[in-house]
Amino acid sequence: MTDHPSKTLAAFAANLRFEDIPHEVVRRAEDLLLDWFGSAVAGKGARPVEAIERFARHMGPDSGAAEVLIARRRTSPLFAAMVNAASSHVAEQDDVHNGSVFHPATVVFSPALAVAQELRCSGRELLTASVAGYEVGIRIGEFLGRSHYKIFHTTGTVGTVAAAAAVGRLLRLTPEQMLDAFGSAGTQAAGLWEFLRDAADSKQLHTAHAAAAGLTAAYLAKDGFTGAKRILEGAQGMAAGMSREPDAARLVDRLGQRWALAETSFKFHASCRHTHPAADALLQVVTEHKLAPDQIASVTAYVHQGAIDVLGPVVNPQTVHQAKFSMGTVLGLIAQFQRAGMKEFEDHFNDARVAAFRSKVTMVLDPEVDGAYPARWIGKVAVHTVDGRMLSGRVDEPKGDPGNTLSREELEQKALRLAEFSGGASVHEMQTAFHQLWDIEHAPTVGYFLT
């Protein structure tokens, strides 16, 4: 155990080489990159994302080396990172690391791709930098822990440092500069859950902010701008201000041996990840017993405390985005369509039958589920049928978790559905992008996708 974990972690990020990363972790990084690309394209047309894009147009340069995917234009890396991070988080289809409750792709790939395009980096450099961002961000999320997540949107806060790690690696920062970048990123860490109560647009602002702030921190560090050397663990650092139970050992947990990136889950349902275990468990029950929604009298979802904290305030969702944080809506869609995808949310989240289903759903804190969380996200439901049966469902790994992952074909299908939903790219364009992305390891320069 080091007495200066920020430094150890920064040195790891600065020194990581492509050759150090196991083959299967590289493959998984490619999977996550393609999955992120689909989510980024999915954000086209979403009101909050388009507002951020208009702001970027207003304030940023109208040419540059980095690509804004939803706008098919190029600008400076700062604004490409900002808009791509907003757009890749709005569909709630981007990846998640269970143990840290952190969405790495949106805050890592968005700035990394923008900077790799500007610097004309190779695909291997992009992959290496992205792995650095994942490993750093996930460990900081675990370090700050559950008390942090109760108030703060970990992806927004921790995302600043994850973004700085990825961009810093592309900029070839020295370990000392990387530590400076961590300091400048962590001191900009922000993102509060308060917006959920009002179904406000902040979630995309959080990722846009994290990507931009982390990128800023890394570029400044390259230019000699210094930062706090213990921004994570120091007496007036991130944990001191924003966690009640920081665990510094997590920051340096088996660096170079444990690949946290490979623990990251793909999202299958188009909703907040906290709804997925119960959704899969209910899907199991309705499939096995061929239940129609009107045969269901009530559903009890046995959940962890974090689900209650995040989903609890959402009682009567007014927007598609808010509905993705409504357990009743998600389970209503599963009962009705055996699916809670983008299309089901968009077309049906407030159908009379789905809305009526909400009052049938109760969340109950479950000691087993809560004890396993966040390392494992167990799904347990009890279904009371109208005819008096009590049926139970259980999943130990929701669909998309590493032990129940998506194949490359499933990932492509998911990305195609997202692109079709938003109109962000044609099937042909997506397939061309898939070809580039699956072969990114061999790309001498990363190149462009939609411009």
Enumerate binding residues for a copy of itself (CB under 8 A).
Answer: 47-48, 51-52, 54-55, 58-62, 76-79, 150-152, 156, 180, 183-184, 186-202, 205-206, 209, 213, 216, 219-220, 223-231, 234-238, 240-242
The answer to whether residues 74 and 450 touch, using CB atoms and an 8 Å cutoff, is: no
Q: Which is nearer to a copy of itself, 51 or 297 (CB)?
A: 51
**131: closest CA among 31, 1, 266?**
31
Residue 312 CB, shortest distance to a copy of itself, in Å, is 10
d(CA 296, CA 277): 19
Q: Which is nearer to a copy of itself, 201 or 401 (CB)?
A: 201
**16: closest CA among 100, 112, 117, 110?**
112
Half-sphere exposure of 88 (CA within 13 A, CB side): 35
Q: Which is nearer to a copy of itself, 110 or 405 (CB)?
A: 110
Q: Which is nearer to a copy of itself, 198 or 288 (CB)?
A: 198
Residue 157 CB, shortest distance to a copy of itself, in Å, is 8
Q: Which is nearer to a copy of itself, 18 or 225 (CB)?
A: 225
The long-range contacts involving 398-401, CB below 8 angstroms and separated by at least 24 positions, are: 398/265, 398/268, 398/276, 398/277, 398/279, 398/280, 399/268, 399/276, 399/280, 400/265, 400/266, 400/267, 400/268, 400/276, 401/98, 401/265, 401/377
Residue 71 CB, shortest distance to a copy of itself, in Å, is 15
Residue 109 CB, shortest distance to a copy of itself, in Å, is 19
Q: Which is nearer to a copy of itself, 185 or 391 (CB)?
A: 185
d(CA 44, CA 62): 19
Count of C-beta atoms within a 10 Å radius of residue 63: 9
Torsion from C-alpha of 419, 422, 425, 430, nearest 10 degrees: 0
- DSSP lists the bridge partners of residue 383 as 299, 391
Q: Which is nearer to a copy of itself, 204 or 265 (CB)?
A: 204
Residue 112 CB, shortest distance to a copy of itself, in Å, is 16
Q: Which is nearer to a copy of itself, 28 or 209 (CB)?
A: 209
Residue 242 CB, shortest distance to a copy of itself, in Å, is 6
Residue 180 CB, shortest distance to a copy of itself, in Å, is 7
Residue 145 CB, shortest distance to a copy of itself, in Å, is 14
Q: What's the token pair of residue 400?
A: 């998309």
The answer to whether residues 334 and 373 touch, using CB atoms and an 8 Å cutoff, is: no
Residue 205 CB, shortest distance to a copy of itself, in Å, is 6
d(CA 350, CA 333): 10
Place of tokens 């979802």: 301
Q: Given the DSSP bridges, would you call strands 296-303 and 379-385 parallel, antiparallel or unpaired?
A: antiparallel
The answer to whether residues 128 and 333 touch, using CB atoms and an 8 Å cutoff, is: no
**Helix, strand, coil % in the chain, rounded to nearest 5:** 60, 10, 30
Q: Which is nearer to a copy of itself, 263 or 309 (CB)?
A: 309
Q: Which is nearer to a copy of itself, 27 or 57 (CB)?
A: 57
The answer to whether residues 203 and 195 touch, using CB atoms and an 8 Å cutoff, is: yes
Residue 108 CB, shortest distance to a copy of itself, in Å, is 19
Peptide bond into 374 cis (omega under 30): yes
